[in-house]
Amino acid sequence: MAAPIIEVRNLTKVFGTVVAVDNVSFSMEEKDFLVLLGPSGCGKTTVLRMIAGLEIPTAGEIYLKGRLVYSDEKGIFVPAREREVGLVFQSYALWPHMTVSENIAFGLKVKGMKAAAIEEKTAAITAYMQLDGLRNRYPQEMSGGQQQRVALARMLVSQPDIFLMDEPLSNLDAKLRLEMRAEIKNLHIQTGATTVYVTHDQVEGQTMASQVAVINNGILEQLSSPKTIYKRPANLFVADFIGSPAINLIEGATGAIDTEEGTTVSLERDFWKAATLYKNIQSGRDIIAAIRPENIAVVPEEGFNTIPATVKTVLPSGSETVLRVNQGDLTLSVLMTREVELFPGQHINLYLPPEHLLLFDKATGQLLNLPEKTN
């Protein structure tokens, strides 16, 4: 097996007394698209900057394409300019005193390329990025989306094997953001560059990533495929951070239900209980159950795993409808993909499918292990 393209080991960064990045490790293969996801100030940008070589870590090791570029133990630090990575900044960081062409050509000039070759490459990339008519404009004379394209073009023209992107779309309006999302994904597919992409927008993260790393307070909470992150969040933070509307959290305790296959576990709460697929967990343990809004169904009759509830609000939005319902002191969100004829105050029954009920340990916040076969 070839060496990973990016490998980060025990990476730590301390600013003064604040631990910004805490012992983060991961590795990426060729063509991986890793999204560093987390709330602002969580340390995700710092990780990216350390990979780029713009920030000197406090401890740990970084390998790029098998080359050790940072190690505190071995006293190695390769500066950014020798790492050959492409970086796109949140602010685009276009040089206001240079035209589009000059901005793009800069990296090639640095490499000492001949003028003719620079011209050729610049022309090619501006055409590719649909910036043809803008070559002699200055950045401040262009729209945000155009500036973003220039920033991408400037990175692409040097043909780096690694793309690093720091919230590149956060300054664009919603429509443009969708367009650019597709464009960046497309770029990734065409170039095959290993990409690390920082965002705080979990939808953006989910749609673009091949791998998602959720970071909180400098700690890597979970690193998995977007699907796993969504379906099997490793802990309550990830569960809560991913998904919109947010996952429903229900505090309760475990109870035992004996079945043929052994003892399954139920979620027990005030006046109702619901079956889960968990097995062999000590009864009476404090837990927090979680279920995604789209996994709850509204059913006409009481039955297996249903609970009664009252409709509080109905929030239709085109193809989807979000219900807010009350069950005792609990408020749950329900996402329905069909039209519903419900009104506030109406009594309904909610079906909680056992396979979608996740249980987290209340004390640690960690996901309790599900039996293998349900995965």
Partner 1 sequence: MPPSAARYALTPALGIRKRRDIKMFSRAKTYFRKPHIVISLILLVILLFIVIVPFGKMVKDSFVWQFADARLSRNSHPGELTLFHWKRVFAGPLTQNILIRPLYNSISTSLGVSVFAMVIGAFLAWLVARTDLPFKKIVASVAVLPYVIPSYIHALAWLNLFKNDRIGGVAGVFQYLTGISPPDWLSYGYLPIVATLSLHYFPFTFLLVSAALSSIDSRLEESGEILGASRTYILRRITFPLILPALLSSFILTFSRVLGTFGTPYFLGTPVRYYTLSTQIYSNIINRIPSVGYILAFVLIAISSTVIFVNQRMIGKGKSFVTIGGKGFRIKDMPLGSLRYPFLIAIIALFCAAVVLPFTLILWQTFTLYPDDYSIRHLTLLFWTGHANTAFAEGEAGILRNPAIIGAAWNSIKLALTASLLAGLLGIFIGYAVVKGRNTRLAFSVEQLSFLPYLVPGIAFGALYLALFSHRIGPLPALYGTFFLIVLVCVAKNLPFTGRAGITSMLQIGNELEEAAETLGARWSMRFRKIILPLSLQGAISGFILVFITVMRELSLIILLVTPETRTLTTMTFRYQEQGYTQFSSAISVLIIFIVVCGEAVSKKLEKRSPANR
Whole-Å CA distances, 62 to 31, 43, 72, 315: 18, 16, 10, 47
Is 151 one of the binding residues for partner 1 (CB under 8 A)? yes
Nearest alpha-carbon partner for 1 in 26, 27, 25, 24: 27
Is the N-terminal amide bond of 245 cis, ω within 30° of 0? yes
Q: What's the closest the beta carbon of residue 42 comes to partner 1, in angstroms?
A: 20
Name which position in 52, 287, 311, 336 contacts partner 1 (CB under 8 A). 52
Q: What's the closest the beta carbon of residue 223 comes to partner 1, in angstroms?
A: 23
The dihedral formed by the CA atoms of 68, 72, 74 and 77, expressed in degrees to the nearest 10: 50
The secondary element (H helix, E strand) that includes residue 192 is none
Stretch that binds partner 1, among 46-54, 115-123, 215-223, 232-240 (CB under 8 A): 46-54
Name which position in 106, 128, 272, 351 contacts partner 1 (CB under 8 A). 106
Q: Between residues 95 and 304, which has the closer beta carbon with respect to partner 1? A: 95
Q: x/- binding map, residues 53-92, to partner 1, per CB under 8 A? A: xx-x---------------xxxxxx-xxxxxxxxx-xxxx
d(CA 198, CA 189) in angstroms, rounded, equals 18
Is 3 one of the binding residues for partner 1 (CB under 8 A)? no
Residues 6+ apart with CB under 8 A from 74: 68
Amino acid identity of residue 21, one-letter, is V
Q: What's the closest the beta carbon of residue 25 comes to partner 1, in angstroms?
A: 15
Helix, strand, coil in percent for the chain, rounding step 5: 25, 40, 35
Q: Between residues 154 and 200, which has the closer beta carbon with respect to partner 1? A: 154
Q: Between residues 25 and 331, which has the closer beta carbon with respect to partner 1? A: 25
Amino acid identity of residue 141, one-letter, is E
Q: What is the DSSP string of 271-306?
A: TEEEEEEEES--TT-EEEEEE-GGG-EEESS--TTE
Q: What's the closest the beta carbon of residue 93 comes to partner 1, in angstroms?
A: 4
**Residue 10 token pair:** 């025990």
Q: Beta partners for 259?
A: 262
Name which position in 10, 25, 41, 110 contacts partner 1 (CB under 8 A). 110
Is 347 one of the binding residues for partner 1 (CB under 8 A)? no
Name which position in 43, 107, 168, 218 contacts partner 1 (CB under 8 A). 107
Stretch that binds partner 1, among 138-146, 208-216, 252-260, 290-298 (CB under 8 A): 138-146
Stretch that binds partner 1, among 103-111, 206-214, 319-327, 341-349 (CB under 8 A): 103-111
Q: Between residues 89 and 351, which has the closer beta carbon with respect to partner 1? A: 89
Q: What's the closest the beta carbon of residue 85 comes to partner 1, in angstroms?
A: 6
Q: What's the closest the beta carbon of residue 4 comes to partner 1, in angstroms?
A: 17
Whole-Å CA distances, 53 to 68, 83, 84, 369: 12, 7, 10, 38
d(CA 332, CA 322) in angstroms, rounded, equals 10
Stretch that binds partner 1, among 25-33, 150-158, 196-204, 320-328 (CB under 8 A): 150-158
- Which residues in this chain contact partner 1 in the complex, by CB under 8 A? 52-54, 56, 72-77, 79-87, 89-98, 106-107, 110-111, 138-142, 144, 147, 151, 154, 158, 164, 171
